[in-house]
């Protein structure tokens, strides 16, 4: 549900902010607005971006003239960053659109539910005190504590890390979703499986090809409609699904661990509403 909520956020971001400034780039610009002159590693931490992603992204922002970069005179290994005048102007220009994304993302929830989800996402994301402090300090600029898309992205990163650590068999979460769908509805067509797993057509086609090559999924043409592919779990796929279930359950347990037992079900429901999977 976190992944699907992130997809909803990405769709709204593309619709209202556009494709020239991504949400992670925006997060980095926010961090620099709050901490001008911070080093590249610190900005990456504030924006929850790994070292490689941050280096590539900063290079793009520098080439676009949005960020200024210089060597730290006290330590030549460090790169210090500041917003350029153009970066400052762009941040101010897009902030109303970003605020609209957040409003529409939380639109299915009332104000109390929205605040509850924000609080829970912060804990699911394992936000450290410095990052939370940065978000709080940014409020006069961007009302950053309401940037729910950022919290969803970081919570998704936590889920991915837990999945990598705990789920055996080199099986990604989207691949697991497909196998799970096929265990419940064997023999359904590829398009329907993609809808059930919330995967777009291109992603689904590539993912199924990989699962077929691994011998985990069986694919055949629909005899009633040659344009459709019908899918089913292979015996190996059924066996792998059983093998990974314990790890999958442990991922969910550890992901929700920061929440009190009494609020976990409520938070899962609020996520489902935000992801447009159920109505409020």
Output the CA torsion sign for 8, 102, 138, 132: negative
Question: Under a CB-based contact definition with an 8 Å cutoff, are residues 186 and 235 in contact?
Answer: no
Do 146 and 112 fall into the same domain? yes
Give the chain's domain count: 2
Radius of gyration of the chain, Cα coordinates, nearest whole angstrom: 21
Write out the chain's pLDDT in tens, 280 residues. Answer: 999 999 999 999 999 999 889 999 998 998 898 889 999 999 998 888 889 999 999 999 999 999 999 998 888 788 999 999 999 999 999 988 988 998 899 999 998 998 889 888 888 988 765 555 555 555 444 444 447 888 899 899 999 999 999 998 889 999 999 999 999 999 999 999 999 999 999 999 999 999 999 999 999 999 999 889 999 999 999 999 999 999 999 999 999 999 999 999 999 999 999 998 888 6
Do 26 and 137 fall into the same domain? yes
Question: Per DSSP, which regions of the chain are E strands?
Answer: 67-72, 75-83, 217-222, 225-233
Do 9 and 142 fall into the same domain? yes
User: Residue 15 sits in which domain range?
Assistant: 2-156
Q: How many CA atoms are closer than 13 Å to the CA of 45, on its beta-carbon side?
A: 13
Backbone angles phi and psi of 239, in degrees to 5:
-65, -45
The DSSP result for 12-60, as a single string, is HHHHHT-SSS-HHHHHHHHHHHHSTT-BHHHHHHHTT--HHHHHHHHHH
Read off the CATH number of the domain in which 193 is found.
1.10.10.10
Do 139 and 97 fall into the same domain? yes
Do 24 and 150 fall into the same domain? yes
Q: Quote the DSSP letter at residue 264.
A: H
Strand partners, 148: none
Comparing CA positions, the residue from 99, 107, 105, 97 lying closest to residue 9 is 105
Residue 69 falls within a domain, yes or no? yes
Comparing CA positions, the residue from 9, 254, 241, 243 lying closest to residue 147 is 9
């Amino acid at each position: 549900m976190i992944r699907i909520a992130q997809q909803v956020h990405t769709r709204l971001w593309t619709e209202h902010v556009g494709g020239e400034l991504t949400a992670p780039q925006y997060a980095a610009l926010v961090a620099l607005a709050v901490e001008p002159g911070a080093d590249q590693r610190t900005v990456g931490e504030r924006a929850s971006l790994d070292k490689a992603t941050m280096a590539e992204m900063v290079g793009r922002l520098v080439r676009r003239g949005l960020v200024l970069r210089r060597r730290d005179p006290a330590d030549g290994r460090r790169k210090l960053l500041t917003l350029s005048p153009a970066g400052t102007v762009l941040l101010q220009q897009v902030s109303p659109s970003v605020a609209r994304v957040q409003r529409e993302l939380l639109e299915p929830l009332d104000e109390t539910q929205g605040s509850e989800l924000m609080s829970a996402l912060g804990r699911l994301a394992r936000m450290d005190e410095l990052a939370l402090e940065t978000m709080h300090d940014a409020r006069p600029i961007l009302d950053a504590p309401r940037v729910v898309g950022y919290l969803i992205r970081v919570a998704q990163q936590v889920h991915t890390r837990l999945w990598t650590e705990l789920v055996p068999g080199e099986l990604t979460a989207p691949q697991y979703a497909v196998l799970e769908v096929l265990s419940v509805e064997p023999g359904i067509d590829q398009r329907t499986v993609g809808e059930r797993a919330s995967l777009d057509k291109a992603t689904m086609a590539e993912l199924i090809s990989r699962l077929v090559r691994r011998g985990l999924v069986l694919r055949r043409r629909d005899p009633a409609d040659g344009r459709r592919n019908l899918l089913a779990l292979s015996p190996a796929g059924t066996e792998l699904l059983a093998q990974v279930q314990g790890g999958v359950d442990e991922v969910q347990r550890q992901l929700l661990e920061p929440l009190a037992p009494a609020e976990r079900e409520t938070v899962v429901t609020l996520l489902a509403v935000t992801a447009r999977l159920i109505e409020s």
